Amino acid sequence: MQTLLPRFAAAALLLSVAQISLAGAPPGLPDNAAGSVSGTVTLVQAVPGGAVDVRVDGRELHRVAHLGDVIGPVRLPAGRHALAFVGSGGSVARATVWLRPGSSVDVVLHRPAGTRGASVVTSFPTPTRPIRAGWARIMVAATASLVPADVRVDDRVVFANIANGESVTVDVKAGRHLVALVPTGQPAPAVLGPLKVSVAAGTVTMVYAAGGPPTGAPRAIVHTIALGSRGGAAPGSVHTGTVGLARDLPVRVFGP
């Protein structure tokens, strides 16, 4: 764990800057009250040992994100956004994201392919295209220090020789599935998993491999997003805040 902090600090010297372009969005789109020109960003911290602060457009979104933390989804206006992961030593890993209206993207701070080198930032657009009833989607991304690996879902190779920063998406029937990364061309032993992933119909589940040598075996970071369609059902929940500015405000409670 401790060895990772100096490594992450080295990122400051290199100032790892990732330019991420999600095509289709012109810059400077205004915020829109009707909600048609915004998207969501989810930030994933996949670097062991390095506690980082997360900033969006120069403002602090989250303090002290550790390995495995999934922050968001955060709704942002469509257009260009500057994201930064700031380490305790002042190291910075940056990314620029072009957010398309209605789109969703994961921005992942992760280890490079090798066991040395600065942390990198990669964006993974959420695969939100329509899905048939009763099915779910699984995306697996190689975001750990790994030997050359194949992605296996339910013992079937869905991506051979995946590289660091690459991902693969498969549609599966809702239910429980096994996800594993195995050395390329070999059925076993897995370098990650096999993970039992339970997926609900109409959802997309992202599986990120995180860490890896020299800080132990890779682990998985998993999160799920609904592939929503608008309807008229009774409201079950309301998500009406994004940045925590009201976290310390007291509420004056009264009445019946």
Partner 1 sequence: MIQPHRFKSVLLTAAAVAVLAAVVGLVTRGPADPVVPEAPQSLRLPSGRVVPVHAVSTDRHGQLDVPDSPRSAGWWRGGSRVGDPSGKTLLAAHVDSPRLRLGPFAELYDARPGLQLVLRSAGLRQDFRVRSVGVIRRESLTARPDLYSPSGTRQLVLVTCAPPYDPTHGGYQNLVVLVASPDGPATPTATR
133 is a site residue for partner 1 (CB under 8 A): no
Q: Residue 184 or 242: which CB sits closer to partner 1? A: 242
Determine, following the binding rule CB under 8 A, whether residue 254 of this chain makes contact with partner 1.
yes
Identify which of residues 84 and 149 has a Cβ nearer to partner 1 in the complex.
Answer: 84
Cα–Cα distance for residue pair 95/152, rounded to 1 Å: 30
**244 to each of 43, 62, 112, 249, how far by Cα in Å?**
16, 9, 32, 10
When asked if residue 13 is in the footprint of partner 1 (CB under 8 A), the reply is no
Binding mask 71-110 for partner 1 (x = CB under 8 A): xx-xxxx---------------------------------
243 binds partner 1 (CB under 8 A): yes
Residues 47-76 that bind partner 1 (CB under 8 A): 56-57, 59, 61-62, 69-72, 74-76
DSSP structural state of residue 131: -
Number of Cβ within 10 Å of residue 183's Cβ equals 15
DSSP-assigned states of every residue in 132-148: -TTEEEEEEE--B--SS
Cis amide bond preceding 6, omega within 30: no
Contact positions toward partner 1, by CB under 8 A?
Answer: 31-35, 38, 56-57, 59, 61-62, 69-72, 74-77, 202, 226, 228-256
